[in-house]
Amino acid sequence: MSKIKRLFLKEKEAKKLLSEFLKSAKIHPYQLPALKPPIELAKTDNEEIFLINGEPIFAKSNNKLFPTLASGKLLSNLPKATVNIGAIPHICNGADIMAPGIVHFEGTFNKENIVVISDERHQKPIAIAIALYDSREAEKLEHGKTLKNIHYVGDKVWQTIKQLGQTK
């Protein structure tokens, strides 16, 4: 496990980061559950996890900001793709989400928006992905990549959050 360095961001830096997160994740402010500074940063060599009120709301890895699987209420406000049970092991090993594995979508999204991936049986979030198509196009696809996997159960971000004691 990587060593985690923790610190609080300055208010100006925190506000700028929240604005950047909203813009990069293409999330509207009304979708956020009262997020405001102070923001705590938990940093390893490869990832940065941003905690608000002790909850890991979003992360930065490979220069991309995205919501974490442990961000609770935020995920319930985002569009979802439910996948069949056979797709789960592949997704949790980092595979992108293919059209045949998708059971259905909830909500609408545009290309490059964040989409939460949930399992069919328990409806629990297992991954965060970027849409490669808008929701109308994605629903019609029968084969090929539909969503790009950027964060999943068991990845480095997940492990860091687990190390922080924040996974359920």
Range of the domain at 51: 5-74+156-163
**Count of domains in the chain?**
2
Question: Which residue intervals of the chain are DSSP H helices?
Answer: 11-25, 73-76, 88-91, 135-140, 156-163
Q: What is the pTM of this model?
A: 0.89
Would you say residue 112 lies in a domain? yes
Shared-domain flag, residues 66 and 79: no
Would you say residue 64 lies in a domain? yes
- CATH number, position 47: 3.10.450.120
Residue pLDDT, tens place only, 24-65: 776 766 656 566 668 899 998 888 999 988 889 899 988 888
Question: Exposed, middle or buried: residue 26 (CB in 10 Å: 0-12, 13-18, 19+)?
Answer: middle
Contacts of 148 (CB under 8 A, 6+ apart): 96, 97, 129, 130, 132
Shared-domain flag, residues 139 and 86: yes
Residue pLDDT, tens place only, 2-29: 688 999 999 888 888 888 887 777 676 6
Residue pLDDT, tens place only, 121-149: 999 999 999 999 999 999 999 999 999 99
